[in-house]
Structure 1
Amino acid sequence: MRLVRDIFLFCCFTGLAYADVQKLKRSEIIQGTNDELWIITKRQKTDTTSRIPLLPPALEIVERYKDNMECQIKGKVLPVLGNQKMNSYLKEIADRCDIHFNLTFHIARHTFATTVTLSNGVPIETVAKMLGHRNLKTTQHYAKILDKKISDDMKRLEDYRL
């Protein structure tokens, strides 16, 4: 189950979809201009290029699996299990953690867009590029969700004062 947790967290810190992390090759992690490591890959769904700097938590996960035999043989970054098996384990993790909603790999991508990037001031155009969106409107969906959360949080604050 640690593997499933690691892959889910990797997606939270990279924004990659399940299909993209499953096919991610070691050759798609390259050294950027400031000696930082970047993922440069084509999204399976849209055939657009995603360019994502590797944040330290994601880099730790990459390092954890660099000597994995399956990864070495296939040239992959992570030994991703089949989608059905991964989601089954995610459900089990959610149950153990008392999470009362359907935990999926898309939630990891959503977390990257909202909590990791937009909430921390990363411009929406940059987020769109990292997510491999062709259209900014697709990324704006995440910003609307963020606005709703801000509104709900402020409502709770108002109710608390009363």
Structure 2
Amino acid sequence: MSEGINFSDRLGRCVIVIGLPYPNIASPDWKAKIEYIETTTQTNLTAQGTSKEEATSRAKQAARDFYENACMRAVNQSIGRAIRHRGDYAAIVLVDRRYGTDRIRGKLPGWIRGGLVGDSHEKGLGGLMGAVGGFFRGKKNKAQ
């Protein structure tokens, strides 16, 4: 649900993203995109005098970044369905250990990174529910 519906204000107070929504890399479209990025990047780097090994490595990295960025764009758009303006709020629950890696976390907007709580998996579902409850109690107290 990354596109098309806005759940601003009271219509959406929690977004739960389970896993990382990577596109199907085996689809013909994605195979073609990855191949194009790798080929174009490698050709450009080789033309600039980069060694073949280095160009190949950097071309594969460019394709990986493109693929990962498509995934994170979907995550960020999903979050944006519930948080539509500066005064709006929603609990955001990202359920996958990979969200804790620097590489993935770095692709989240800064205002989300600043509020991440990374130890919920250690405390289990009860810890997560407590953290979400505390978040909403804090919002309720601010409103009063």
Pick the TM interval, shorter chain: under 0.3
Q: TM-score under structure 2 normalisation? A: 0.27
Q: TM-score under structure 1 normalisation? A: 0.25
Greater CA radius of gyration, 1 or 2? 2
Higher relative CO (Cα under 8 Å, sequence separation at least 6) belongs to 2
